[in-house]
Amino acid sequence: MDGRHIQTVDGNTVLNVARQNRIYIPTLCYHPKTRQAGKCRMCVVEVERMPGLQTACSLAAREGMVIHTSTQRVVETRKMIVELLLANGKHNCIACEANGACELQEVAYRLGIEKPSFPIAERDMPVDTSCPMIIRDMNKCIHCYRCVNGCNNIVVNEVLEMGYRGSRMTVVCDTDKPMGESSCVVCGECVQLCPTGALVEKKAMGKGREWDTNQTRTTCPYCGVGCQIRLHVRDNEIIKVTGEENVEPNFGTLCVKGRFGYDFVHSPHRLRKPLLRKNGRLEEVSWDAALDFTAEKLLEIKKTSGPGSIVGIGCARSTNESNYVMMKFMRAVVGTNNVDHCART
């Protein structure tokens, strides 16, 4: 490949071989999870003794293959594909949520396409805002099939499908219903797989681009699956959540709660200060006042009624470390085994 002798295992695709050897082949429809779709043709390469150009994502590497990944013919073909995609939709990066994370923008940049050379097609499909969590702008869709593949083969919710034919071809929900009225369960896998700004998180709109955010790997706070998530943070605010690809247990997939149920963290109803009941009313106090009151009262009850009169319920949402400290507190400090939590089953 490109003059290098490379060994690989039988059946590996040319694309994989290139990526494993840090040779750049652009892709739009290919995603490690949905694999080759054979739609975009961005990954074309020249192979000696094979006719025409070959798509690297679907071509199995074979003994003795001689592959060129960046000949003039290859580059010009790729440029033409990007030019046509740019001409076929509303790809204006300025206000696009995907700016900086868009794979179409990335390949245009790598190919040096500053300004589309073809006239932009009149394409003005209504933006689907019917879902409370996801915005679908099919004017930015490049028909890569990743969302369709993800919906049907990864999360198997079987909502998205390609509808219509020819220039009218577009992704539809169920029988072309608005997403918010369809059987969609809003897992957001389609958003995570979308290479452009055609599918974006509604609640993140205008809150910051990829380069504005710090990302923190953590574990989802909802059910017991323990999905690995990434919190995208700007100015101390979580603006969106994505699933962490390629790692157990979830391999990038999430559900509606894990992906979109994060803004409770910033709710104005969060408790901000310790509260102590005085004359029947809860009043804001300092940590010292709250903790001293509690400690003294616990000591008094322990002394007069014994440690067994004190009980503690731990938290199945809090960390192992906090639960351990709670358990230790009840046993070592209060002196009782009266410690439990909600899920003994």
Partner 1 sequence: MAGLASTLGAGAMTNSIREIEDVPVIFVIGSNTTESHPVVSYFMKRAVKKGSRLIVADPRRIDLTRWATRHFQHRVGSDIAFLNAVMNEIIRNGWHDRDFIEKHTEGFEQLRETVSRYTPEYAGEICGLRADEIRELARILGTAEKVGLFYTLGITEHITGTDNVRSCANLQILLGNIGKASAGVNPLRGQNNVQGACDMGVLPDVYTGYQKAAFPDVRRKFEAAWGIEKLPDGEGTKIPAMFDGIHHGDVRALYLIGENVVMSEPNQAHTVSALKKVDLLIVQDIFMNETAEHAHVILPAACFAETEGTFTNTERRVQRVRKAVEPPGLARDDWWITAELARRMGYDMGYTSAEQIWEEIRSVTPSMSGIAYRRIDHKGLQWPCTDEQHSGTCYLYCDNVFPCGKATFRPAEWKPPAEVPDEEYPFVLTTGRRLWQYHTGTQTRKSGGFNDICPEEMIEVNPDDARGLDIRDGDYVFVFSRRGRLKVKAWVTDRVTPGLCFMTFHFSEACANVVTNNAFDPIAGTAEYKACAIRLERA
Told to check if 60 binds partner 1 by CB under 8 A, we report no
According to the 3-state scheme, what is the secondary structure of 53-105?
CEECCCCECCCCCCEECCCHHHHHHHHHHHHHHHHCCCCCCCCCCCCCCCHHH
Burial of 147-159, coded b for 16+ CB within 10 Å and e otherwise, reads: bbbbbbebbebeb
In the three-class reduction of DSSP (H, G, I as helix; E, B as strand; rest coil), residue 111 is classed as helix
Tokens of 218: 């953590």
Cα separation, 147 vs 130, whole angstroms: 18
Q: How far is the CB of 298 from partner 1 (least distance, A)?
A: 6
How many CB atoms neighbour CB 62 within 10 A?
Answer: 12
Residue number, 102 or 204, with CB nearest to partner 1: 204
How many CB atoms neighbour CB 265 within 10 A?
Answer: 11
Told to check if 276 binds partner 1 by CB under 8 A, we report yes
Residue number, 127 or 326, with CB nearest to partner 1: 326
Burial of 229-262, coded b for 16+ CB within 10 Å and e otherwise, reads: bbbbbeeeebbbbbbbbeeeebebbbbbebbbbb
Cα separation, 184 vs 80, whole angstroms: 35
Told to check if 292 binds partner 1 by CB under 8 A, we report yes
Told to check if 256 binds partner 1 by CB under 8 A, we report yes
Told to check if 340 binds partner 1 by CB under 8 A, we report yes
Q: Which stretch binds partner 1 (CB under 8 A): 50-58, 72-80, 115-123, 288-296?
A: 288-296
Told to check if 190 binds partner 1 by CB under 8 A, we report no
Q: How far is the CB of 173 from partner 1 (least distance, A)?
A: 15
Q: Which stretch binds partner 1 (CB under 8 A): 10-18, 53-61, 81-89, 219-227?
A: 219-227
- What is the size of the binding site for partner 1 (CB under 8 A)? 110
Told to check if 345 binds partner 1 by CB under 8 A, we report yes
Compose the 223-242 pattern: x for residues touching partner 1 by CB under 8 A, - for all others: xxxxxx--x-x--xxx----
336 Cβ partners below 8 Å, 6+ apart?
307, 308, 310, 311, 330
What is the footprint of partner 1 within residues 149-178 (CB under 8 A)?
Answer: 153-156
Told to check if 208 binds partner 1 by CB under 8 A, we report no
Residue number, 110 or 273, with CB nearest to partner 1: 273
Told to check if 308 binds partner 1 by CB under 8 A, we report yes
Told to check if 327 binds partner 1 by CB under 8 A, we report yes
Q: Which listed residue (20, 21, 117, 305) binds partner 1 by CB under 8 A?
A: 305
**CA quadruple 66, 6, 55, 137: dihedral sign:** negative
Q: Which listed residue (142, 148, 159, 255) binds partner 1 by CB under 8 A?
A: 255
Q: How far is the CB of 336 from partner 1 (least distance, A)?
A: 5
Told to check if 313 binds partner 1 by CB under 8 A, we report yes
Q: Which listed residue (8, 99, 170, 219) binds partner 1 by CB under 8 A?
A: 219
Q: How far is the CB of 171 from partner 1 (least distance, A)?
A: 20
Say if residue 264 is exposed, middle or buried (CB neighbours under 10 Å; 0-12, 13-18, 19+).
exposed
Q: Which listed residue (77, 186, 190, 194) binds partner 1 by CB under 8 A?
A: 186
126 Cβ partners below 8 Å, 6+ apart?
none
Q: How far is the CB of 60 from partner 1 (least distance, A)?
A: 22
Cα separation, 178 vs 175, whole angstroms: 9
What is the footprint of partner 1 within residues 90-149 (CB under 8 A)?
Answer: 132-133
Told to check if 250 binds partner 1 by CB under 8 A, we report yes
Q: Which stretch binds partner 1 (CB under 8 A): 26-34, 65-73, 95-103, 334-342?
A: 334-342
Cα separation, 86 vs 104, whole angstroms: 9
What is the footprint of partner 1 within residues 1-20 (CB under 8 A)?
Answer: none
